Amino acid sequence: MRIHCDYLIIGSGIAGLNFARCAAATGKRIVILTKGSAGASASTEAQGGVATVMNSDDSFAAHIADTLQAGRGLCHPDVVQMCVEEGPQQIRELTQIGTQFTMNKNDPSAFDLAREGGHSARRIIHAADATGKELIRALLAHVHGLPNVTLYEHHMAVNLIVPQAASPERVCKGVYALNRTTGEIRTFVAPVTVVATGGLGKVYLYTSNPDIATGDGVAMGYRAGAQVANMEFYQFHPTILYHPEAKSVLISEAVRGEGAILRDLSGEAFMAQYDPLKELAPRDMVARAIDDVLKRTGDDHVLLDITHRSPAFIQEHFPNIYATCLGFGIDMTRTPIPVVPGAHYACGGLVTDLDGHTTIPGLYAVGEVACTGLHGANRLASNSLLEGLVFSQRAARASAELPALSLDDVQDWEVGDAVPSDESVVVSQDWDELRRFMWNFVGIVRSDKRLQRARRRLDLLREEIKEYYWQYVVTPDLIELRNIATVAHLIIECAMRRKESRGLHYTADYPNESADFVRDTVVARYGQP
């Protein structure tokens, strides 16, 4: 089955939906593919908010300075300035479509502004502690009302359609996607393809990301020949709920922003030993501090303590976190929350310009899947939603004039000699092994020896996965395994090239920053840039 459209968006998180909102004004046909149900994305789980200057006590210059400081010399200053200055307009437009942000109790006309780690001022615009859920609700409601937008749920992208992918003249013309309900591979053809597939947290054993975060967009883009950059900079969120029945439960940065204290199991507050900003230090510092405490003490977790704030304050500011913890038998108003670090956010991805265009004509990337230059070596808290909103609108504007592109050479998917698999255990075994050695060898603290061990194991797995992929009919599990193996390769490759410690990349063999590495780590499948 072949489906034609003018704009093809892969992913239904905030970046993908906002692109659809902005592009809809052209009147062109828009198709959105999502591999789960509509709105099932990491965006929905975003608790903190959107970092945006909306207060006279704050300034663009201060937000820019905070972002550059967190990025440890690798942020692109023009991108940082652009995102910061265009942020307020995004908030205004979201409000116009019915997004309900939390307002200041003392001044109902002003936003309630939170503060998070690395920020010098209160500038986090939020919807209680469930900002992502509210943004998705508002954007989905808006997009569902647009007559030129069609959303295909449970359609999983397999490969980008890039005829003659190894050629310098490669152009993206759409995507092959698996209908997870019927098992059919459909051909979606478009002159503009937008990858908004989110992150890749499932490449690690412990993560705050949902199960769908398997790096699909980065893997497909790399296989098609797009440049990828800075995959070594993976952000581990310091505070994931530690509980045997909890899965991917994030305890927001905002809890520390409102005074929560990190303690070891003896009750001692330890962050002052690691950074003068203590609990408000950037995430990389906090995650490494917790990792060090756990290695030193042998404990499985640390404690996040906000019991010194009143129960009314906690329940008002963090209603969803409070309810979630209570569901696991933890009353955060009375007892500290057990937490551990977990894989959270990729600062690297498909290289884009200021308008979200990748190095392949016709292919755009927006949101976490992209490497825009905003985050550098470490993302400042709540800059991710800002980036997704700003770049999705810029990409929609830049692609408004659809290119004259012949789509006649697009071939439909061919099954060839592939047969249904009767050994799915191979997929599950490889999946578990890959995620575990990525956690152990390519996690918060790395070394040359650990990276080399990971690469040797991964090389064997990739050969096995490649053989399996061509021999058997594709399934969702096989597609995801292939993708996480690809992004694992990219993380290891980038990490081995960077012989220093900077931001989120910390290696015991090179513990200091080096002036020789004040540059992006760029890789490409077809020759190096």
Strand runs (DSSP E) across 274-348, as ranges? 302-305, 337-346
Residue 435 carries which side chain, given as an amino acid letter? R
Phi, psi dihedral angles at 156 (to 5 degrees): -110, 120
Q: Give the CB-side neighbour count of residue 190, counting CA atoms within 13 A.
A: 26
DSSP-derived secondary structure letter, 250 = B
Q: Which residue has the tokens 């249904």?
A: 420
Q: What is the CA radius of gyration of the chain?
A: 22
What is the crossing angle of helices 131-144 and 383-398, to 10°? 20
- Quick check: helix, strand or coil at residue 149? strand
CA dihedral 37, 42, 48, 54 (to 10 degrees): -80
**Rounded CA separation 377/64 (Å):** 15
The question of whether 394 is a catalytic residue gets the answer: no
Q: Which residues contact 503 (CB under 8 A, 6 or more apart)?
A: 70, 71, 72, 74, 233, 284, 347, 376, 377, 378
Handedness of CA 3, 162, 364, 157 (dihedral sign): positive
Q: Which of 341, 395, 270 minimizes the C-alpha distance to 8?
A: 395
**Rounded CA separation 255/304 (Å):** 9
Kindly report the number of other CB atoms within 10 A of residue 144's CB atom: 10
- Reported as type and span, the H/E element at residue 371 is strand 370-371
Catalytic residue among 21, 72, 283, 455: 283
Contact assessment for residue 459 and residue 466, using Cβ atoms and an 8 Å cutoff: no
Q: Which residues contact 404 (CB under 8 A, 6 or more apart)?
A: none
Contact assessment for residue 318 and residue 129, using Cβ atoms and an 8 Å cutoff: yes
* Phi-psi label, residue 351: left if phi above 0, alpha if psi -120 to 50, beta otherwise: beta
Phi, psi dihedral angles at 237 (to 5 degrees): -70, 135
Q: So which residues are the catalytic ones?
A: 283
